[in-house]
Amino acid sequence: MARTVRDANLETRTARARLKPAGKPYYRAIDEGLHLGYRKGKTAGKWVMRWYIGDQTYRTEAIATADDTLDADGAEVLTFAQAQAVARTRFVEQRRVAAGLPAKAGPYTVQLCMADYLTWLEHNRKTAQDARWRSDALILPILGYVECAKLTTKQLRDWRDAIAKAPARLRTKKNEQQKVKKTDPEEDPEEAQRRRRASVNRVLTILKAALNQAWREHKIPSDQAWRALTPFKQADAARVRHLTVEESRRIINGAQGAFRDLVKAALLTGARFSELGALQVADFNADAGTVHVRISKGGKGRQIVLTDEGVKFFSRLAAGRASRDRLLVKDDGGRWLKSHQSKPMAEACKAARLEPPCGFHTLRHTYASLAIMNGAPLMVVARNLGHVDTRMVEKHYGHLSASYVADAIRAAVPSFGITAETNVAAIGGAR
């Protein structure tokens, strides 16, 4: 691991003095495939490193003199911790050489790190476009030139706090001055701060993911700078809005044309808009009562279990159609693509008299919330939504609704026959 490894036999000169001279170094694993060794001599010992090259073979290289008799100078004489840092840096260089690259290709900056990560995202996830926008807008202008190996926790914290204090950005045409969101005098200042911090946390997640990937690939010798930086606490505490069953029926009736089927599909599956638009006839299995989402936001597929109502709905959509046809298409037969849902969703909300209007993603929240309120286990809902565990479900839907919680408690908690043991009564209906 990148953090400094502790070893009672090697980390102090007093401990090393008790070791017996030996032909082979005393080794300590400090990372996967990498060991730091101490070769005991008659006077000062030597730090050596060895790394695995495959086929049960290691290579060895001397690093520096141990601080057995002289104080460490950070160059020729090193402490146990300093020797670990040097070993990791040289290990990265050796990995580059083995890959046919120069040992040192110049500073590996945050800009290069983000470029590598975004390339990986484009091939493995569906969030590359959003991550690229956030990187270009909020990461690279401040941190892009900084060498990753020289990042400090304070530097990252200052960056995080600075963008949290800056006003929210609005879409701006290229080569025009950046537009920012004006302060709403009616908005609660604490809520405005929470929303801004939640946005910053998402940017921080992207940056840390990029840095961690580079560190795991040995492009950066240590992860200590950003590992110590935590996101803003309680920034994602806003309750997720969901519709009632009655409101859901109204929005179905308010939706027009092919968009109505899309709304129904969202309420019956909890699937994301992009997932619904990608569904093919072959993805529906009437016998199993499932629809197969081939690729979700996290890059993995999943089977969504349907209710009887859902099976009947998708059976109607699939009837008489080829297996590779899209299950859900627009009125003109075209595919639902990004932002195509915005206008018809706004029109459906208006027709349904929903105030305030909601976005299409609210239908996913509605599916989850109503399922949980009707007794579905959290893990079952999480699996249908595409989450690997219940953490996200608990975070967003654990509150449910106040009336549901109250009704559930009053229905489930038994009565103990306890009565008031007093003759005093409240005056005037006081509570």
3 state SS for 49-96 = EEEEEECCEEEEEEEEEECCCCCCCCCCEECHHHHHHHHHHHHHHHHH
CATH of residue 143: 1.10.150.130
pLDDT tens-place values along the chain, 431 residues long: 457 899 999 999 999 999 988 889 999 999 988 999 999 987 789 999 999 888 888 889 999 999 998 898 888 899 999 999 999 988 888 887 777 665 666 788 999 899 889 988 888 877 788 899 899 889 999 999 999 999 999 999 999 999 988 877 776 666 566 677 776 655 567 777 888 888 899 999 999 999 999 999 888 989 999 999 998 887 765 556 889 999 999 999 999 999 999 999 999 999 999 999 999 999 999 999 999 998 777 667 899 999 999 999 999 999 999 999 999 999 999 999 988 999 999 999 999 999 889 989 899 989 988 888 887 887 888 888 888 776 777 666 655 545 556 666 777 777 777 765 666 555 655 44
Q: Sign of the C-alpha dihedral, residues 104, 107, 112, 113?
A: positive
Instruction: Let me know if residue 328 belongs to a domain.
Output: yes
**Residue 170 structural domain:** 110-227
Q: Is there a single domain that holds both residue 403 and residue 286?
A: yes
The gap between the terminal CA atoms of the chain, to the nearest Å, is 60
How far apart (Å, rounded) are the C-alpha atoms in residues 35 and 64? 15
Instruction: Let me know if residue 232 belongs to a domain.
Output: no
Q: Please answer whether residues 290 and 268 qualify as being in contact, where contact means their C-beta atoms are separated by less than 8 angstroms.
A: no
pLDDT at residue 176 in the model: 66
Per the structure block, which two tokens stand in for 202?
């998402």
Count of domains observed in the chain:
3
Long-range CB contacts (< 8 A, 24+ apart) of 52-60?
Answer: 53/98, 59/94
How far apart (Å, rounded) are the C-alpha atoms in residues 91 and 51? 7
How far apart (Å, rounded) are the C-alpha atoms in residues 295 and 275? 8
pLDDT at residue 1 in the model: 45
In eight-state DSSP terms, residue 183 is: P
Per the structure block, which two tokens stand in for 309?
């109502």
Domain boundary among 198, 227, 256: 227
How far apart (Å, rounded) are the C-alpha atoms in residues 330 and 106? 51
CATH of residue 83: 3.30.160
Q: Which residues contact 233 (CB under 8 A, 6 or more apart)?
A: none
**ω into 221 cis (within 30 of 0):** no
Q: Sign of the C-alpha dihedral, residues 135, 94, 124, 238?
A: negative
Sort strands 77-78 and 46-54 into parallel, antiparallel or unpaired. unpaired
Q: Is there a single domain that holds both residue 61 and residue 127?
A: no
Q: Is there a single domain that holds both residue 94 and residue 114?
A: no
Neighbours of 162 (CB within 10 A): 12
Q: What is the pTM of this model?
A: 0.51
